[in-house]
Amino acid sequence: MKDYYDILGVSKDARGDEIKKRFRELAIKYHPDRNPDNKEAEEKFKEINEAYSVLSDPKKRAQYDQFGVVDGSDGYSSEYDFADTFSDIFSNLSSVFGDIFGDYSYRRGPRPEKGDDIGMNLTIDFKEAVFGAKKEIKVKRRKTCPKCGGTGADKNGIETCSYCRGRGEISYSQGFFSVRKTCPKCGGKGVIITKKCTNCGGTGYIYEEEQLIVNIEQGIDNGDVLRITGKGNPGKNGGPDGDLYIYIHVKEHEFFKRKGRDINIEIPISITQATLGAVIKVPTIWGESEITIPPGTQNGDAFVLKHKGVELNGVRGKQTVKVKVVIPKQLTKRQRELLEELAKESGEDLSYKESILDKFKSMFK
């Protein structure tokens, strides 16, 4: 069993403000920001937080004094999850330190930060998406201004901050506590810029176009997003560079309509091919293929060509061929004679005036 009094180094009859004061001292001493990569300090920090969260609560403290355990406090044991209890710890800290804790933590210096991600659109052809391609792209990435080295100041336009005397922070006392605070005048930089760098306009960075070759994998689809690690904007304070996200837009093909791995295509056939049947050639993305149209094929009937679709991760989809029966708009004299012959053979009277619509109407009389 953990002795919370021992952990905080207070006596069993310590008053609330005494416990609070002791916790404050220990929290600063063992704060992870002050002890980077120190496992022992981290453990200690968790332990004092656990102890404080019990002893600062009169109800929990009474329970602990009587039974030696507190409901729900065992979560802090060996399988302590920092992320889960992160908010608990910081609510403890902020209740004790208030806002000044934020100022305190400033003193650890700038923390490495990952650079911003960049997003861009890339339009590719249908064929490039289906078979893959190498595409050259241009991306505007942020670079440190070479003229001012990132300070944003002109050569003679930089002065030491008079408010903090170049230290970037000021100290004052709040109660018994000495607090350091980021200098409000220079924002912690310790310097004041009196004349901005003309190259970057004072921002300290410029944008430079960079050429990249992007590998488009076979089978990529409209709406896919490629991520290129480390090609975003540069990281801050030694942090990693951001990533580049490329949003893929695939141009539509005139004939091939794609849906995932599958391809749909519409092929015109003649009335005689539809009626008598035929073997016809159809284009696929993999070259020419054949389908057999059986006699009596109707307009809109579909035929499937297996494994003629898009290949993605080694698996090929299918191609569906939908036939469209084309009615001839112009006939030679001979063609007309033959069709009239056909009509006669079928017993159709081509001069019959009653339309199909009239037939339907008569059905409902």
Q: Which is nearer to Zn ion, 185 or 307 (CB)?
A: 185
From 55-63, 93-101, 161-169, 340-348, span contacting Zn ion (CB under 5 A): 161-169
From 68-76, 77-85, 134-142, 197-205, span contacting Zn ion (CB under 5 A): 197-205
The single residue among 111, 155, 185, 251 that binds Zn ion, judged by CB under 5 A, is 185
What distance in Å separates the CA atoms of residue 142 and residue 243, rounded to the nearest whole number? 12
From 12-20, 63-71, 182-190, 320-328, span contacting Zn ion (CB under 5 A): 182-190
Q: By CB under 5 A, is residue 161 in contact with Zn ion?
A: yes
CB of residue 249 vs Zn ion: minimum separation in angstroms? 36
Interface mask toward Zn ion for 108-147; x: CB under 5 A: -------------------------------------x-x
The single residue among 27, 118, 124, 148 that binds Zn ion, judged by CB under 5 A, is 148
Q: Which is nearer to Zn ion, 195 or 227 (CB)?
A: 195
The structure tokens listed for 169 are 């922070």
What distance in Å separates the CA atoms of residue 303 and residue 265, rounded to the nearest whole number? 10
Q: Which is nearer to Zn ion, 147 or 180 (CB)?
A: 147
Q: By CB under 5 A, is residue 164 in contact with Zn ion?
A: yes
Mention every residue, 6+ apart, whose C-beta is less than 8 A from residue 274: 293, 296, 297, 298, 299, 323, 325
The structure tokens listed for 50 are 């656990």
Q: Which is nearer to Zn ion, 79 or 209 (CB)?
A: 209
Q: What angle do CA 180, 116, 107 make, to 5 degrees?
A: 10
Cα 134 to Cα 12, 59, 214, 335, distances in angstroms: 72, 67, 6, 53
Query: What is the torsion angle, in degrees rounded to the nearest 10, for the CA atoms of residue 187, residue 193, residue 198 and residue 203?
Result: 0
As a residue count, the chain comes to 365
Using an 8 Å Cβ cutoff, are 289 and 305 in contact?
yes
CB of residue 55 vs Zn ion: minimum separation in angstroms? 40
Q: Which is nearer to Zn ion, 191 or 291 (CB)?
A: 191
Q: By CB under 5 A, is residue 200 in contact with Zn ion?
A: yes
Using an 8 Å Cβ cutoff, are 134 and 212 in contact?
no
The single residue among 54, 55, 93, 186 that binds Zn ion, judged by CB under 5 A, is 186
Q: By CB under 5 A, is residue 193 in contact with Zn ion?
A: no
Q: Which is nearer to Zn ion, 199 or 270 (CB)?
A: 199
What distance in Å separates the CA atoms of residue 70 and residue 64, rounded to the nearest whole number? 5
Q: What angle do CA 141, 239, 35 make, to 5 degrees?
A: 165
> By CB neighbour count within 10 A (0-12 exposed, 13-18 middle, 19+ buried), where does 114 fall?
middle
Positions touching Zn ion (CB under 5 A) are 145, 147-148, 161, 163-164, 183, 185-186, 197, 199-200
